[in-house]
Amino acid sequence: MRLAVLALLSGAMAGCGTADDSSSTGRSTTTGPSPADPDDPAADGAPLAVDEFTEDLVDPTRPTDADADRPARPDRTVRTRIVFPTGDGPYPLLVMSHGGTGHPDEYAEQIPQWAAAGFVVAAPIFPLTNRDSAGGMSNIGDWVNQPGDVSFVIDEVLAAGDDPDSPLHGRVDPESIGVVGHSLGGATTYAVAFNTATRDDRIDSVVVFAGLTFDVPGGEFEFDSGLPLLVLHGDADDVPIEPDEAAWEQAASPKWFVTLLGADHRLAFTDEPSPWDDLVTRTILDFWHGTLGGDAAALDRVTDDPTDPELATVRHE
C-alpha cells in the first residue's frame, strides 16, 4: 500500500514542479487580510507593506546526501525566501514547505499576500527534493530530513529577529509560530508538528494542503497533542485523501477539514488561477489570525469561509 501511495505521489508531484510559471496569469484573489484583534498590527484589514530577501542558511551539524550531479556534503544549505511586513511588529512566523520537485516560486504571489496580512513568512527550498535537484523524484527519501530543515529555519529566523543588524529585528514573535505544507511538504509539516522523533514544540498552528503521512524512523505520530489543525484536500486529487482524513480524525480539537470539490493536487494551492482561490485564502488567513493572532472572531469564521455547495465542504470539531 505504501508503495502504491508513493507511486501516486510521484506522479502528482511531478506535475507539482513542472508547470511553466511564466505562462500563468496568476491567482485572482480579491480577498484582503481578515480583520483581526485590535492589538494585531493588521487589525484594520488593510494589506501591510512588505519587503523580502533570500538567504542561504547553512546548518553545519547535518550532512546532505549526494545528488545526481554532486557528491555528499558535510553540511546542509537551505536557501530560504523570507517575506515580512515592514512595520514594527512583532508578527507571527509561518514556515511554508513546498512539495516534491516543487519550489517556493509556485506560491510566489500568495506568500507576499500572507505577509501583507501580518505574518513573517519563511519558504525554504529543500536541498534534494526541489525542482532543480538533479535526482528528481529519486531523492524523495530525503523528505525525512526536511522536518529538521523546518526547525533549523525557525532557529535562524528567530535569531534574526534578535539581531539588530537584520531586517527582521523586532519583527518576529517567537511565541507564535505556524507551519504549512503542500503535498510532500504536507508530510514534512505533519512530521515537524506531530511526530515524536521530529516534533518542534515551538509550533502553535498547522495547515496542510493535500498532504500524506510517512513513517519517521524512531518516532510515532501524536496527532492528539492539541495543536490546531486545518487540512485542505481536493476530491479529484490523484493523491489519496485518506491519509489526510486519518490524521485529521486522530487530531484533537480545534480542527477543520475542507474538501475542495473538483480540485486536483495542484490548482487550488499554487499561484495558478482557480475557482477555489478566494475560498482558500479566506480560510487560511482567518485560521492563522485566530490560532496565531488570538482573534476569536476570525477563528469562528473558519467554519463558514469554505462553505460553498459548488466549491467545498467543511468539517469542524
Q: Which three cell numbers stand for residue 240?
A: 489519496
Q: How far apart are CA 256 and CA 128, in angstroms?
A: 31
The reply to whether omega before 90 is within 30° of 0 (cis) is yes
pLDDT of residue 42: 53
**Residue 131 has what pLDDT?**
95
Tell me the residue type at 262: G
State the average pLDDT for the chain. Answer: 89
Low-confidence ranges of the chain (pLDDT < 50): 1-8, 10-15, 17-41, 43
Tens digits of per-residue pLDDT, 150-176?
999 999 999 999 999 999 999 999 999
pLDDT in the model for residue 16:
52
Write down the pLDDT at residue 36. Answer: 36
Q: How far is CA 72 from CA 138, 160, 211, 289, in A?
A: 15, 28, 28, 41
**In this structure, are residues 50 and 69 in contact, taking their beta carbons and an 8 Å threshold?**
no
Residue 14: closest CA among 255, 239, 253: 239
Query: pLDDT tens digits, residue range 231-254?
Result: 999 999 999 999 999 999 999 999
